């Protein structure tokens, strides 16, 4: 895994079903002694608990995830999914994650800052793209990186350098780290009351590839419900919960630290009782 934003990077997986995800995670999860940030926790068999009953499950619904900006169709699909869980014996509890609104700004300081350093190694000296006929060292650096990186990558490197630069560090990077801690503490509080948290994966159904390229902030806001999970370092997953205008909508499940097995169990029980994971969006066979 090549580092982009080290404190946020995580290996993810994309599968047809929760059961497949459990199988894959069984082979992926283990302690890595070459990663200093890896915890040496016992790894469960993620398939062993897939069929456990979810009766008595306490689901937290963050009020902040159902406010302004949420597509009505998406909201309906997610609410229907939650009703399904109730039918399976779960109880639903309204919770608050009061710092949700600062997750995107915090993320777009921390991730670019880390990426601005992580991508420095792509300098045209040892490997990767190297510009033609560099005139001197500075030219080699400037052209290799200007020509080799795409627009979004360059935008993030610039934002990251700015956030870390002399005189701005406290205003941006240090502040973003404080925001990150507040966001994490929101979840710590929430998990004192509930077992899992659910909500929409994104505010609107899937949008067309490249359609928000000219408006990066609009694109960044599509991550508004998932970014906090990433900042808090919690496991999260998205499962299909319906189509709106023939475009897929995702239900997000957020678990406490090391609650992957429970999340997979709950998702699997949902998929045993619904067909959404078998639906294909428009244009896909």
Residue numbers at the binding site for another protein (CB under 8 A): 1-3, 5-7, 33-37, 113-114, 116-117, 120-123, 125-127, 137, 141, 161, 164-166, 169, 173
Question: What CA–CA distance (Å, rounded) separates 258 from 25?
Answer: 12
Least distance in angstroms from the C-beta of 25 to another protein: 20
C-alpha distance from residue 10 to each of 101, 103, 109, 229, 275 (Å) = 23, 18, 18, 12, 29
CB of 96 to another protein, least distance (A): 29
Residues in the chain: 285
Among candidates 233, 223, 234, 230, which has minimal Cα distance to 201? 223
Q: How far apart are CB 233 and another protein at their closest, in Å?
A: 12
> Under a CB-based contact definition with an 8 Å cutoff, are residues 52 and 265 in contact?
yes
Query: Of 164 and 221, which has the nearer Cβ to another protein?
Result: 164
Residue 166 or residue 217: which is nearer to another protein going by CB? 166
Label residue 240 exposed, middle or buried (CB < 10 Å: 0-12, 13-18, 19+).
buried
CA distance 224 to 152: 18
Which residue's CB is nearer to another protein, number 144 or number 265? 144
Q: Phi first, then psi: what are they for 231, rounded to 5°?
A: -65, -35
Give 2 or 284: the residue with its C-beta nearer to another protein: 2
Residue 150 CB, nearest distance to another protein (Å)?
A: 16
- Closest approach of another protein to the CB of residue 110, in Å: 9
Looking at the Cβ atoms of 5 and 90, the one nearer to another protein is: 5
Q: How far is the CB of 77 from another protein (least distance, A)?
A: 36
Q: What is the DSSP string of 85-137?
A: HHHTT-EEEEE--TTGGGHHHHHHHHHHHHHHHHGGG-SSSSSS---SS--SH
What is d(CA 122, CA 135) in angstroms, rounded to the nearest whole number?
18
Indicate the residue among 6 and 51 with the shorter CB distance to another protein: 6
**Nearest to another protein of 127, 209 (CB atom):** 127
> For the chain, where are the alpha helices, taking DSSP H only?
18-28, 72-87, 103-118, 137-148, 151-164, 175-190, 216-221, 227-232, 260-273
Give me the least distance between CB of 5 and another protein, in Å please: 8
């Amino acid at each position: 895994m090549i580092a982009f934003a080290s404190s946020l990077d995580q290996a993810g997986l994309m599968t047809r079903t929760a059961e497949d995800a459990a199988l894959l995670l069984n082979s992926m999860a283990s302690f890595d002694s070459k990663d200093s940030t890896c915890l040496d926790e016992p790894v469960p068999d993620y398939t062993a608990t897939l069929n456990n009953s979810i009766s008595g499950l306490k689901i937290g619904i963050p009020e902040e995830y159902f406010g302004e900006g949420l597509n009505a169709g998406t909201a309906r699909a997610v609410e229907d999914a939650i009703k399904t869980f109730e039918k399976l014996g779960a109880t639903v509890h309204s919770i608050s994650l009061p710092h949700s609104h600062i997750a995107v700004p915090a993320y777009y300081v921390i991730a670019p800052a880390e990426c601005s350093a992580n991508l420095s190694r792509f300098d045209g000296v040892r490997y990767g793209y190297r510009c033609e006929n560099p005139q001197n060292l500075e030219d080699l650096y400037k052209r290799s990186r200007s020509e080799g990186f795409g627009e979004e990558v360059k935008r993030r490197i610039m934002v990251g350098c700015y956030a870390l630069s002399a005189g701005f560090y406290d205003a941006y990077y240090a502040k973003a780290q404080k925001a990150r801690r507040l966001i994490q503490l929101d979840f710590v509080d929430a998990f004192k009351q509930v077992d899992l948290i659910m909500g929409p994966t994104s505010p609107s159904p899937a949008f067309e590839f490249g359609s928000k390229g000219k408006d990066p902030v609009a694109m960044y806001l599509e991550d508004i419900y998932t970014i906090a999970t990433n900042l808090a370092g919690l496991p999260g997953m998205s499962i299909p919960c319906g189509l709106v205008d023939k475009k897929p909508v995702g239900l997000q499940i957020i678990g406490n630290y090391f609650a992957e097995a429970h999340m997979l169990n709950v998702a699997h029980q949902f998929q045993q009782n619904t067909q959404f994971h078998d639906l294909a969006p428009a244009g896909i066979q």
